[in-house]
Amino acid sequence: MGRNLFLPKLSFSHRDFAASRLRVSWNPVQSREGHEGATIASIRLRPKRPTKYCITTGKRLNVYIKRELRINVMQRLNAYISGKVQKTGYRARVVTIAQNLRLNGYVQNLENGLVKVVAEGETANLEELLKAIDIKNTLINVTDIRKEYSPAIGDFDSFFKAVSGGETDQRLDAAAHLLKKLIVVNEKILGVITATHEELKETHEEIRGSREDIRGSCEDIRSSRDAIVGEIRASRDATVCEIKASRDATIGEIRASRDATVCEIKASRDATIGEIKASRDAIVGEIRASNDVIAGEVSEARDAIVGEIGELRVDLKESVDDRMTRIESNISQIKEKVSL
């Protein structure tokens, strides 16, 4: 039979029962026995006392615990992400998400086009990480995530981005962000152009309808004129002078009405064309201004990248020269020792 220890400040939640090996320790002053800790061999729930748990340890000690205390099992996640994930700012997004979830580890580009993520933390946070890094947008498109779990080792103190030699990754991420903004702006401009094109189509249809109405009016006028001419011809012998006078007056009115209608159509057309040109010039000006601003930002980012690369080359050259000097000094010292 094992001995019973009463520990008032320790307990485990139900989800922790699946753990094969856990560590439990307690304050010797608070326990009835002076043990510093033991490895748990099995955990058994007492059915008649659901608020307490019986833990059988490797030392045959039965530990009864009252209050509930969650023990979070730390795990290590190795994930390999495939898709359009390199040179898109994907690693920066992963670093931000992992740091917000308080995970430790790193993210790294692989030569085969995959991205490797190594993270340590609680299981729930690791699952949240897997959901959050499954990104699909204009630049990033994750197609598959292959994951592996193992016990946490504790090799990392934070989450960082593993960068190979010669990368200027932060500037590339900034350039990718600016490119994404450019794409969004172009999409908005395309939407405005499409809407303007639809308005132009509607205006053209209205003009076409007005032209058809004018044609109909002309046909009506012609029919009326023919009827009048027929009546004039029927009574020509009796009222030639009256018919001529009436015909001339009618022709004058028709011409005046036609001229007025033509002038109105021309004025309306010129006004519509002027509005269309002004709208088009305003849109073109906005597009050019937006492109100039974005081109300036991209140029500044490019110049900054070139400057950083130059500084890195100078630092690398100085470091190599310093090492060569040290090596030559060490060789000289070795030669002196050998000659002695």
> Among all residues, which ones are annotated catalytic?
91, 109
Three-state DSSP class for 36?
coil
Judge whether 47 and 26 are in contact, CB under 8 Å: no
Q: Which is it for strands 159-162 and 104-109: parallel, antiparallel or unpaired?
A: parallel
Judge whether 105 and 120 are in contact, CB under 8 Å: yes
Instruction: State the Cα–Cα distance between residues 97 and 129, nearest whole angstrom.
Output: 7
Q: What φ, ψ does residue 115 adopt, rounded to 5°?
A: -120, 130
Judge whether 13 and 29 are in contact, CB under 8 Å: no
- Which pair of structure tokens corresponds to residue 122? 């609680």
HSE at residue 12, side-chain half, CA atoms within 13 A, is 23
Judge whether 225 and 248 are in contact, CB under 8 Å: no
Region of residue 145 (left: phi > 0; alpha: psi -120 to 50; beta: else) = beta
The CA–CA distances, whole Å, from 1 to 35, 52, 56, 62, 66 equal 18, 19, 11, 9, 21
Q: What is the crossing angle of helices 169-234 and 90-100, to 10°? A: 110
Instruction: State the Cα–Cα distance between residues 229 and 243, nearest whole angstrom.
Output: 9
3-state helix, strand, coil in the chain (%, to 5): 55, 20, 25
